[in-house]
């Protein structure tokens, strides 16, 4: 029973992290480039774009 509980917590955490990363990437992209198209593209890249932005700027 405890094994199932741990798996559920990990799955929820991963889904939340991916969602937050996508939203953060889209906000950063839109405020930087003022383009919805780029915001969607960077949202698909998620944390990759966020990390790139932190290192680059």
Alpha-carbon distance of 21 to 52, in angstroms, equals: 12
Q: What is the pTM of this model?
A: 0.75
pLDDT at 2: 55
8-47: pLDDT as tens digits: 666 676 667 778 999 999 999 999 999 999 999 999 999 9
DSSP designation for 1? -
Among the listed residues 15, 47, 18, the one whose alpha carbon sits nearest the alpha carbon of residue 7: 15
Alpha-carbon distance of 21 to 51, in angstroms, equals: 10
Contacts of 41 (CB under 8 A, 6+ apart): 29
């Amino acid at each position: 029973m405890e094994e199932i509980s741990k798996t559920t917590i990990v799955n929820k955490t991963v889904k939340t992290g991916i969602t937050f990363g996508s939203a953060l990437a889209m906000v950063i992209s839109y405020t930087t480039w003022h383009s919805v198209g780029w915001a969607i593209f960077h949202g698909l890249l998620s944390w990759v774009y966020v990390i790139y932005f932190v290192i680059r700027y």
